[in-house]
Structure 1
């Protein structure tokens, strides 16, 4: 089974950790890209945002220092300029992006990753905050 799952991960983020654990709950180990250490290229980021069906602004984290310092709120930056800033300041990239053979999603909330996984969940799963996402039968709880 080839490793066809990539997660652009920040280990300090609960949503990112929950998403990673939902992937691992299928018995698969994804390629983990700690994007703060290894940011995507402008082309990769542009492609992921487009494939996820997001606008560039949807993919920007707003509650981080560079967002305010660069005065991005209400700015007239072009999408290309915003993507360049996101690559230069990867903390501006919202997380976690997950890439599989089924597509690309910004997995906020983390259970959005379930739409991208081809393997079933192996056991129950609860988020770090205690919210049950997968029941004891491996089924998604709605």
Structure 2
């Protein structure tokens, strides 16, 4: 089943949900600010995305700038920062079986559904 890691306050994330709704496919919405992915889940998502953890970080978030910017962090420390501060996770993330994509721009989602 298709999953979307969604933040309802984000316009790009809302557009991602709309793309999935219009596709007619069944999907699950995970509001990741309410149901924060575990360290293992986030690590698995990053592997599916085939990116490094830093590439999933929203670097313009205030918490990143104040607490993490400019520090030498390991991949595991970056993942822990996102688990402890889920606002740092880029969105939306769509997973379809063994494929995943960050929906920025939202049109990217069409490539995996």
Q: Same fold (TM over 0.5)?
A: yes
Kept in 2, the 8 Å contact 1:102–1:116? The answer is no
Q: Higher mean Cα deviation, 58-67 or 98-107?
A: 98-107
Match of 1:61 in 2: 58
TM-score, scaled to structure 2: 0.94
Match of 1:6 in 2: 3
- Among 15, 25, 30, the alignment partner of 2:27 is 30
Q: Which has the higher helix share?
A: 2
1:112 aligns with 2:108: yes
1:79 aligns with 2:46: no
1:3-24, CA deviations, whole angstroms, 9 ceiling, x for partnerless residues? x010000011111011110011
Q: Higher mean Cα deviation, 26-35 or 9-18?
A: 26-35
**Cα distance in 1, alignment partners of residues 8 and 25 from structure 2:** 18
- What RMSD, in angstroms, separates the aligned Cα atoms of the two structures? 1.1
Runs of 4+ in 1 over 6 A off after TM superposition: none
1:58-104, CA deviations, whole angstroms, 9 ceiling, x for partnerless residues? 1000111210121x223211110110110010001111111112501
- Among 70, 86, 91, the alignment partner of 2:87 is 91
**Cα distance in 1, alignment partners of residues 69 and 38 from structure 2:** 23
Higher RCO (Cα < 8 Å, 6 or more apart): 2
**Cα distance in 2, alignment partners of residues 102 and 68 from structure 1:** 33
Structure having the higher Rg: 1
State how many pairs are aligned. Answer: 113
- Among 13, 16, 21, the alignment partner of 2:18 is 21
TM-score, scaled to structure 1: 0.76
